[in-house]
Amino acid sequence: MLILFYCMSLMLAIASTDDGKKWNDQAQKELTDALNLKPNIKIAKNVILFLGDGMGVSTVSAARLYKAQKDNIAEGMSTLAFEHFPHVALSKTYNLDAQTPDSAGTGTAFLCGVKANAGTLGVNGNVQRKNCSLQKGNEVMSILHWSKAEGKSVGVVTTSRITHATPAAAYAHSAERDWENDANLNDVEGNCTDIAKQLIMDNPDIEVILGGGRRNFFTIPVGQRNDSLNLTQIWETDKSTKGKGSYVTTKSQLDAIDVKNTDYLLGLFAESHMEYDLDRELDNNSLDQPSLPEMTKTAIDILKKNDKGFFLLVEGARIDHGHHASKARKALHDTIAFDDAINIAMKELGTEETLLVVTADHSHVFSMAGYPETGNDILGLVHPTPDDEPKDNLPYTSLIYGNGPGGALVNGSDGHPGRQNLTGVDTTDPEYVFQAAVHMSSETHSAEDVGIFAIGPMAHLFHGVHDQNYIAHVMAYASCVGANKKHCDRPKDDPIGSGVSHTLAHSLILVCILNHINKYL
């Protein structure tokens, strides 16, 4: 028995030995990969912008752990597809009038290329929020419009209402993000058009539109509109004269679409926002809604038929909503679904001709706190040591918010208000509201920078800390749309559009260096 115990102890000791070789080998491989990395200087036929709404760096870190534990992968492994992208930068997210941004001003930045005020869509900084009179003459076009002007196909996919801030920034111009239907404009002075009407009437040639928000397209009592318009019917009538169009409202109908014979697709799968991905799984998709990866695949299958390529915006919108409700599990689960959509795009298209950009509009006051040990449930309690025990001696979760609905105090055993005692509380429950420092009805955004992850043609142009509007300019440059197209007729091996070949450029640089050295010899 003693011999068996000794052998087991020896085996455990050997198994737990860490002499650093693993980490040195891993780092050397990464170093070799970095040294061999060559920028893809081709023109991008396709561009897909994957926007994780509210997906700050802390959310990426927590989602990596959440997925590792969910799939029984060793902690520390990069489990998200976009973590393997070779080019990573940071984006400054502020709005012109706000240190901490909203999704309308940020959407205008990364889609239209200009910074804007909070709450405004597709307009420049001259437009103050809710001021309809300032809209005219201050509209700005997005990369969706620029791509369409070059003959490319375009699409918008989201799990929010299709008229919500981020998707609306791709096609609408509005001094107020909440003007989603005409009823929202009842008390507004001026001649402004609601966002849903702009989508259908002013942007009739968007090939793929998939998301929620049916209520903004129909008149009361079916929807919320005050006018007599049935916008989906107007869309269907228009498409009957232009090609083969389909309007769908369920996953079953989407699955039945013949993409080879579909030129236009409008899918509105919910009255408001679509379900959280976790809820959709847990209730066995009783509402018959497609997932974000499923919508993304259908969109790509339709758009890629265009020989000139396409631009597609894919938004994982409910990451943001999960954080606002302080239901961290739902936010992280939607992050995984968002990542699955990215995997779909890479599988369908590759990265030789397609630029994939993954970023967020803003972050949240969400963090991984304390000193949890390896293997601790990312949704669970921290087990503190005597040196880091909370002053109230109550357990706490490693996921925590700076503010939000979880900040409510309860009366303790001593009669004084304090934190809820989480002993015996199931913090992995999808509906569990994580604790917060400040009690608010809804958790807020944060002002920190967010990541930009890129792969494909011109992805190397993301290289440092950028203002958020830079993203639109890189995507446009890469795909030769918009104003910056001087490089578009260059030879294939010309990296900068100067008429100088890649090899000759290197030779000229070498000559300059040698001449400079000779001056001081």
Indicate the annotated binding residues for Zn(2+).
53, 320, 324, 361-362, 445
User: Which whole-number Å values give the CA distances from 337 to 159, 288, 330, 380, 450, in the listed order?
Assistant: 11, 17, 11, 21, 19
What is the Cα 131 distance to its own chain's centre? 29
| 8 A C-beta contact, residue 78 and residue 348 | no
What is the Cα 129 distance to its own chain's centre? 24
What is the Cα 241 distance to its own chain's centre? 34
Q: Which of 9, 16, 58, 103 is catalytic?
A: 103
Which residues are part of a known binding site? Answer: 53, 164, 166, 315, 320, 324, 361-362, 445
> Which residues make beta-bridge pairs with 78?
none
CB atoms within 10 A of CB 443: 29
Residue 103 among the catalytic residues: yes
Going 194 to 200 to 203 to 207, the CA torsion angle's sign is positive
Name, in order, each residue with C-beta under 8 angstroms of 196's C-beta and a sequence gap of 6 or more.
163, 180, 181, 213, 216, 217, 225, 231
Q: Using CA atoms of 171, 177, 181, 185 in order, give the dihedral in degrees to the nearest 10.
A: -130
List, in sequence order, the alpha helices (H) in 276-401. 277-282, 292-303, 318-324, 328-349
Which residues are part of a known binding site for Mg(2+)? Answer: 53, 164, 166, 315
- Calpha distance 230→199 (Å, rounded): 13
User: Which whole-number Å values give the CA distances from 107 to 119, 360, 467, in the listed order?
Assistant: 10, 10, 13
- Calpha distance 348→335 (Å, rounded): 20
Token pair belonging to 93: 């997210």
Catalytic residue ranges: 103
